[in-house]
Amino acid sequence: MSHSIPRCLVCELDSTEVPLIELRYRDQSYWICPQHFPILIHQPQLLVGKLPGAERLEPHEHD
Ligand SMILES: [Zn+2]
């Protein structure tokens, strides 16, 4: 299983190439690199199909 090696949800690089941040969502672990972490905050819709349930996430809105 590819689960044995954490990889960024978006670019699929592993921790030998980029730092990875662990996400816990729906009791599962996911990983994302700092370059793509802002997508999770600002454009979570781009993670639909990569992160199960991403379609439920609301983008952060600036006031
Ligand atoms: Zn990445």
d(CA 61, ligand 1 centre) in Å? 22
d(CA 37, ligand 1 centre) in Å? 8
At 25 the pLDDT is 93
pLDDT for 23-40, tens place per residue?
Answer: 999 999 999 999 999 999
**In terms of residue numbers, what domain contains 23?**
2-50
More confident residue, 63 or 44: 44
Is residue 55 situated within a structural domain?
A: no
At 19 the pLDDT is 98
d(CA 55, ligand 1 centre) in Å? 19
d(CA 50, ligand 1 centre) in Å? 12
DSSP-derived 3-state class of residue 20: coil
Polymer length of the chain: 63
pTM, entire model: 0.84
What is the percent of the chain with per-residue pLDDT over 90, rounded to a whole number? Answer: 86
How many structural domains does the chain have? 1
Beta bridge partners of 8: 31
At 3 the pLDDT is 58
Is residue 61 situated within a structural domain?
A: no
